């Protein structure tokens, strides 16, 4: 009669403790390690601020139309140009990431987005604002692409899907901010571009 223990009995050893170390609801976060968690926090925060800006713009359309004297087609271009150029930004950021590294590429894209987000708040004309929104799209698309790649490199194969899903969840989560934050930004700045540059400096935080 064989005395070999069943396979499940081996889970009480050291290897079994290692297998269960990253289990549980937040096991995917612990599995990232210190540097991986920093990358996750940067990507999560960057995506959240992207979402804040995206959902803030429609709330300011009436003020923008009145201030610059725009029709519906011109105001619609504000959102369209950012999304279209973001596709170019994602492709360019991928090349930069392969050549200079993921971290450096993420810093460049975040700073690009931050600079032109702030610039939007001080645009003197419709044409200038449209150009700033287009250049903002370069940083937006690049940040989205490089941030996901960087986090995926730190995530284990077992938790990669859950980790990237958690990063993407920042988009709908941050979409709740504009209705409550935009009136405060508008009153504090006293301008017709509510929230246009409120989130700009905060976009630099993921770089650290």
pLDDT at 62 over 80: yes
CA–CA dist 133, 79 (Å, integer): 8
pLDDT at 143 over 70: yes
pLDDT, tens digit, 9 for 90 and up, residues 178-188: 556 655 555 44
pLDDT mean over 203-207? 47
pLDDT at 182: 56
CA–CA dist 108, 165 (Å, integer): 24
% residues pLDDT > 90 (the chain): 21
Predicted TM-score (pTM) of the model is 0.70
Per the prediction, the chain carries an average pLDDT of: 77
Specify the range with the lowest mean pLDDT, choosing from 10-14, 16-20, 37-41, 62-66. 10-14
**CB hemisphere CA count around 125 (13 angstroms):** 3
Residue with tokens 């009480």: 12
Specify the range with the lowest mean pLDDT, choosing from 56-60, 92-96, 112-116, 192-196. 192-196
pLDDT, tens digit, 9 for 90 and up, residues 16-43: 445 455 667 777 888 888 888 888 988 8
pLDDT at 185: 54
CA separation, residue 194 to residues 90, 177, 197 (Å): 28, 13, 8
Of 196, 48, 68, 176, the closest CA to residue 133 belongs to 196
CA–CA dist 95, 115 (Å, integer): 21
CA–CA dist 23, 31 (Å, integer): 9
Q: First CA to last CA across the chain, in angstroms?
A: 62
pLDDT at 97 over 70: yes
CA–CA dist 87, 90 (Å, integer): 5
Query: CB–CB of 102/150 below 8 Å?
Result: yes
Which residue ranges make up each domain of the chain? Answer: 39-197
Tell me the two tokens of residue 25: 């609801």
Confidence of residue 15 (pLDDT cuts 50, 70, 90): very low
pLDDT at 195 over 80: no
CATH topology for 39-197 is: Growth Hormone; Chain: A; (1.20.1250)
pLDDT at 128: 94
């Amino acid at each position: 009669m064989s005395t070999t223990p069943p396979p499940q009995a081996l889970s009480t050893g050291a290897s079994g403790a290692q297998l269960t170390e990253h289990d549980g609801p937040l096991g995917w976060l612990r599995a990232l390690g210190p540097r991986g968690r920093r990358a996750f926090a940067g990507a999560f925060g960057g995506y959240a601020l992207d979402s804040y800006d995206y959902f803030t713009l429609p709330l300011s359309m009436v003020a923008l139309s009145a201030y610059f004297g725009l029709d519906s087609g011109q105001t619609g271009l504000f959102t369209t140009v950012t999304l279209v150029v973001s596709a170019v930004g994602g492709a360019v950021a991928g090349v930069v990431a392969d050549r200079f590294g993921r971290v450096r590429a993420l810093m460049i894209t975040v700073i690009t987005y931050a600079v032109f987000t702030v610039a939007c708040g001080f645009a003197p004309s419709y044409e200038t604002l449209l150009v700033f929104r287009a250049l903002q799209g370069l940083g937006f698309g690049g940040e989205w692409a490089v941030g996901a790649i960087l986090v995926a490199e730190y995530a284990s194969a077992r938790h990669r899907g859950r980790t990237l899903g958690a990063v993407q969840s920042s988009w709908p989560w941050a979409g709740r901010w504009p209705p409550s934050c935009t009136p405060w930004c508008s009153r504090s700045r006293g301008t017709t571009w509510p929230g246009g540059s409120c989130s700009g400096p905060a976009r630099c935080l993921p770089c650290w």
